[in-house]
Amino acid sequence: MSFVDLATLAMHRRQEMEARLNVFLGKCDRAVMDIKKLQHQAKGFVEQLNCEPSELRDKFLSCMKQLDEYTYLITDFNLALDNLDRPVNKSTYYMPVHDNPGRILKPLPPTALNLIDALSEPTPSTSKAC
73-117 pLDDT, tens per residue? 888 877 877 777 665 555 555 555 555 555 555 655 554 444 455
pLDDT top residue among 86 and 23: 23
How far apart CA 118 and CA 124 sit, in angstroms, is 6
Q: Are residues 65 and 35 in the same domain?
A: no
- Is residue 76 assigned to a domain? yes
Q: Is position 99 within any domain? A: no
Q: Is there a contact between 64 and 72 (Cβ–Cβ < 8 Å)?
A: no
82 and 44 belong to one structural domain:
no
72 band by pLDDT with thresholds 50, 70 and 90: confident
Containing structural domain, residue 17: 1-50
Whether 35 and 3 map to the same domain: the answer is: yes
Please write the tens of the pLDDT for every residue from 31-64: 999 999 888 888 887 777 777 877 888 888 887 8
| Tally of structural domains, the chain | 2
User: Is 109 contained in some domain?
Assistant: no
User: Cβ neighbours of residue 115 under 8 Å, at least 6 residues apart?
Assistant: 130
**Mean pLDDT on 60-71:** 84
Same domain, residue pair 42 and 3: yes
